[in-house]
Amino acid sequence: MSNILEIKGLTKRFGGLAAVDNVDFDVREGGITGLIGPNGAGKTTIFNLITGVYKVSSGNVFFRQKDITNTEPYLVADYGITRTFQNIRLFKNLNVFENVLTACHASAKYGLAESFLRLPRFRKEELALKKKAMDLLDYMGLADRKDAIANGLPYGLQRRLEITRALALDPKLLLLDEPAAGMNPDETEQLMKLIANIRDRFNLTVLVIEHHMDLVMGVCEHIVVLNFGKKLSEGRAEEIRGNKQVIEAYLGGEHAEC
């Protein structure tokens, strides 16, 4: 299978600190790849670099062979990459439905004048948008909460809503930043199943950051391990599990988890 994403020599410096240091790895199309590593390893920073939230210091990001290094975040989304955030970023004062509806916008084309005057195309496309948002909420089991204000949702549902919002963009590649943070083992396992389901149903590729190694082992076909900004190792779950360096890095960092 071909690679949907290729990271080459990616580096990000903050002042003196190299948060990401010359990292290379590929993400295979259609798979679920895990990105793991202790606190401060640079995982979130890599997501920020891929999605154009941070400017790259050096190195490149290729999406389907196209160089997308330092592209504006909204264009990255247009190309087909979306993400969730480690510290959930919903449209807090909007309700669940509006959160998802807003992310559906890419599939509407009506212009400014049509909005001002509520012309026929506006009405037609709005209906389609609303239907799409509702279908997604149904699939993700959030339909009965559609009028709830995002901020007031329980934590687990907020994470779920953030994933739903990302799906509304019809992504080809979905980046999830610690989607299981703060969940108990049961919830986490459910979530991992959901992620696998999503991948199959929407026919997309997933790159997921996870802090707890055991959790990723089950669902990820391929795992990349980072430590202090550098790639420590990469391979299939069982290869990673037995890797001495990885175990050491984790013993050194696990107790500081947050």
Partner 1 sequence: MAQFLQQIVNGLSIGSVYALMAVGYSLVYSIMNFSNFAHGGVIMFGAYFGFFAMTLLKLPFLAAFALSFTGTALLALLIERIAYKPLRERRAPFLYFIISAMGASIFLENIVIATIGPTFRTYPKVFSRTAIALGSIAVGRLDLIMFFVSAISLALLVLFIEKTKMGKAIQASAYNMKAAALMGVNTDQIVMIVFILGGILAGIAGVFFGMKYTVYPQIGNITTKSFVAAVFGGLGSLPGAVLGSVLLGIIETMVAGYLSSQFRDLIAFVILIAVLVFRPSGIMGKISEEKA
Partner 2 sequence: MDAYLEGILILSGINLIAVMGLCLLTGFAGLFSFGHAGFMAIGAYTAAIFTKMLGLPFVFGIAASAVSAAIVSWLIGMATLKLKGDYFCIATLGFGEAIRLILDNFQGLGGSRGWPGIPASSTLLNIVILDIIGVVLIANLVRSRHGRNMIAVREEELAAQVAGINTYKYKMLALVISAAYAGVAGALLGHYMTFIQPKMFSMVKSTELTIIVIFGGLGSISGSVIGAVVLTFLPELLRVVDKWRLVAYGMAVIAIMIGRPRGLMGGFELTPASFRKLFAERKAAREIKAASRLYSDDDSAQGAGR
Ligand X SMILES: Nc1ncnc2c1ncn2[C@@H]1O[C@H](COP(=O)(O)OP(=O)(O)OP(=O)(O)O)[C@@H](O)[C@H]1O
Instruction: Give me the residues that bind ligand X (CB under 6 A), please.
Output: 14, 19, 37, 39-45, 86, 211
Distances (CA, A) of 142 to 85, 146, 166, 186, 238: 19, 6, 14, 19, 35
Q: Given candidates 6, 26, 29, 98, which one binds partner 2 under the rule CB under 8 A? A: 98
Nearest distance in Å: CB 48, partner 1: 5
Of 25, 63, 85, 250, which lies in the binding site for partner 1, with binding defined by CB under 8 A? 85
**29 and 2 in contact (C-beta within 8 Å)?**
yes
Crossing angle of the two packed helices 120-139 and 155-167, in degrees rounded to 10: 130
Beta bridge mates, 138: none
**Interaction of residue 108 with partner 2, rule CB under 8 A:** yes
Of 8-47, which residues contact partner 2 (CB under 8 A)?
Answer: none
Residue 34's nearest CA partner among 240, 256, 207, 234 is: 207
User: Are residues 161 and 85 in contact, defined by beta-carbon separation less than 8 angstroms?
Assistant: no
Select from 4-12, 106-114, 198-206, 234-242 the region that touches partner 2 (CB under 8 A).
106-114
Q: Which entry of ligand X, partner 1, partner 2, none binds 40, CB below 5 to 8 A by partner kind?
A: ligand X
Q: Which stretch binds partner 2 (CB under 8 A): 61-69, 93-101, 219-227, 234-242?
A: 93-101
For the chain, strand residue ranges (E) read: 3-14, 17-28, 32-36, 58-63, 66-67, 81-83, 173-177, 205-210, 222-227, 230-235
Concatenated DSSP letters of 133-148: HHHHHHHTT-GGGTTS
Please identify which residue in 2, 9, 14, 124 interacts with partner 1, judged by CB under 8 A: 14
Task: Name which of 2, 23, 26, 29 is nearest 11 in CA terms.
Answer: 23
Contact footprint for partner 1 (CB under 8 A): 14, 44, 48, 53-55, 85
List contacts with partner 2 (CB under 8 A). 51, 53, 72-74, 76-78, 82-83, 85, 89-94, 98, 101-103, 105-106, 108, 110, 112, 114-118, 122, 126, 129, 149, 152, 165-166, 168-169
Chain residues binding Mg ion by CB under 5 A are 44, 86
